[in-house]
Amino acid sequence: MTPIPHFVAGQRRSFPGDAPTPVLPVISPLDGATLGGVSPASAAVVDEVVAAAAAAFRSWSQTPIKDRVQPLYRFKHLVEQRLPELAAEVSRENGKTLDEAAAGIQRGLEVVEYACALPNLMASEILEVSSGVDCFSRRLPLGVVAGVTPFNFPAMVPMWMFPIALACGNTFVLKPSELVPFTPLRLGELLREAGLPDGVFNVVQGNRTTVEALLDHPRVAALAFVGSTPAARAVYLRGIQNQKRMLTLGGAKNHLVVVPDADPAVTAKNVASSALGCAGQRCMAASVLIAVGASDHVVDAIQSEMARWIPGRDLGPVITASARERITGYIDLAEHEGARVRLDGRQASVPGKEQGFYVGPTLLDQLRPESACARQEIFGPVLSVLRVATLEEALAIENASPYGNAASIFTTNGAVARHFESHAHAGMVGINIGVPVPREPFGFGGWNDSKFGVGDITGRDAIGFWTQSRKTTVKWTARQNNWMS
């Protein structure tokens, strides 16, 4: 088996430095089939990929922004035309249902649309700062920049990064998760078909070693990362040490609060799809449900809704056999600690796909706030219910979490919603929304251990992240201007 190629200077290719036999198998979670294998790029291979991106930087950065976004317009149309094919690729390597895969890609395209609008957003400022003296500022690209992405959104998370980075005039090296190496190759080919010059977008396959080579490479000016919190923290610190611009998004433990006046039908649909969509493998997934006071009728409605999700039909598998073991281990532990297992997904099996890594909808009730299921990221289709008497108790639990990605409340009372919105410790808050992902032009980003660095990864903050500002002062008269001479 030859290793899965990189995508460099406009084509799929491997390098003499690549190990001839892949060491990291890529397995479809749908049925356990081996799809290929990755040979993690060494520092020498990373150097070749970065060199290709550096070679493309000179002319790309000098291309006017209105021209730079033209391939992105065409890319958007190509992705829309090939959506079924691309969604099938995402589903095959990640396990999402086809609808989920398509939705993720479409969400990524919203960032492409935002990037296409940059010529209208990046017009600079000019001011006469002294008599006959003008000062203007403009934002210029950084150079070769990199993105490191997780397994759970093979197309969307890369699309949070490269469209804005490229429109801003940088050239890009993407290091996708070693578990989902195929979709990024298709993205590279579609960008090329859309007319993006060779070397402007590149993909290097690999793992931690490859990321460290990017972090240590002197030509990489900035790196954005999305993944688990321990990796996000380590990557951030190493990048900062190497004086790179860094933004790293980490894991999450999202709290959804339900109060007795919540609309049971609306709440049940939203909570179930937040907890179970993408098999719970979303950094925005509902993980802890805090039921305030007499909310039994709402929790019952949530249970009925979750029970409707059929593995293999509505619910895809989790990413690997070891992820399934980790998730079922959490359920075992909760049961051992005395939690009431209201829905149990441990024995899920899909006829004809017995080798797939399925976990069914799982609802754990009456957990203690200190239990592992209530505090740690499980990243599977498991919802843990805590019972409290007051909204203040619910907020105290949410506020104590080291994470801070998303938090939502379900209520029909505006004052309760307003209070929650003001006091939750999370970067993205929902009111009667289970997955409160901000849509463009609002930026995506959490707080606390869910993010290291400043600003959001999309939206206006991303323009700041992928550029540096230059201020130029101009004088065309011989007149003396105080200290400006």
Asked whether the beta carbons of 309 and 405 are under 8 A apart, the reply is no
Please tell me whether residue 158 binds ligand NAD under the rule CB under 6 A.
Answer: no
Structure tokens given for 69: 């976004």
413-472 binders of ligand NAD (CB under 6 A): 446, 450
375-394 binders of ligand NAD (CB under 6 A): 377, 379
Q: Position 251: which residue type?
A: G
Which of 215, 299 has the CB closer to ligand NAD? 215
Structure tokens given for 158: 């890369």
Burial class of residue 239, CB neighbours in 10 A (0-12, 13-18, 19+): buried
Dist CA 459 CA 198 (whole Å): 26
Asked whether the beta carbons of 162 and 174 are under 8 A apart, the reply is yes
Please tell me whether residue 148 binds ligand NAD under the rule CB under 6 A.
Answer: yes
User: How far, in Å, are 150, 172, 457, 477, 483 from residue 231 at the CA level?
Assistant: 11, 21, 17, 55, 50
Which of 205, 303 has the CB closer to ligand NAD? 205
- For the stretch 31-37, contacts whose Cβ atoms lie closer than 8 Å and that sit 24 or more positions apart, written own/partner, are 31/353, 31/355, 31/356, 32/321, 32/355, 32/356, 32/357, 33/355, 35/92, 35/93, 35/182, 36/1, 36/3, 36/4, 36/181, 36/182, 37/1, 37/3, 37/4
Structure tokens given for 208: 């931690």
Q: Which of 154, 227, 280, 436 binds ligand NAD (CB under 6 A)?
A: 227
> Min. distance of Cβ 459 from ligand NAD in angstroms?
13
Using Cβ positions, the residue closest to ligand NAD within the complex turns out to be 227
Stretch of 13-21, 60-68, 97-105, 206-214 contacting ligand NAD, by CB under 6 A? 206-214
Asked whether the beta carbons of 136 and 474 are under 8 A apart, the reply is yes
Q: How many residues bind ligand NAD (CB under 6 A)?
A: 28
Which of 145, 388 has the CB closer to ligand NAD? 145
Burial class of residue 62, CB neighbours in 10 A (0-12, 13-18, 19+): exposed
Dist CA 363 CA 342 (whole Å): 5
269-288 binders of ligand NAD (CB under 6 A): 283
Q: Reply yes or no on whether 283 is catalytic.
A: yes
Q: Which of 146, 249, 348, 359 binds ligand NAD (CB under 6 A)?
A: 249
Structure tokens given for 31: 């049925």
List 116, 168, 278, 283, catalytic entry? 283
Which of 267, 405 has the CB closer to ligand NAD? 405
Q: Which of 152, 267, 371, 411 binds ligand NAD (CB under 6 A)?
A: 152
358-377 binders of ligand NAD (CB under 6 A): 377
Stretch of 116-124, 249-257, 293-301, 306-314 contacting ligand NAD, by CB under 6 A? 249-257
Q: Which of 105, 235, 262, 417 binds ligand NAD (CB under 6 A)?
A: 235
Please tell me whether residue 41 binds ligand NAD under the rule CB under 6 A.
Answer: no
Kindly list the catalytic residues. 283
Where do contacts with ligand NAD occur on this chain (CB under 6 A)? 148-152, 157, 175, 177-178, 207-208, 211, 226-228, 231, 234-235, 249-252, 283, 377, 379, 405, 446, 450
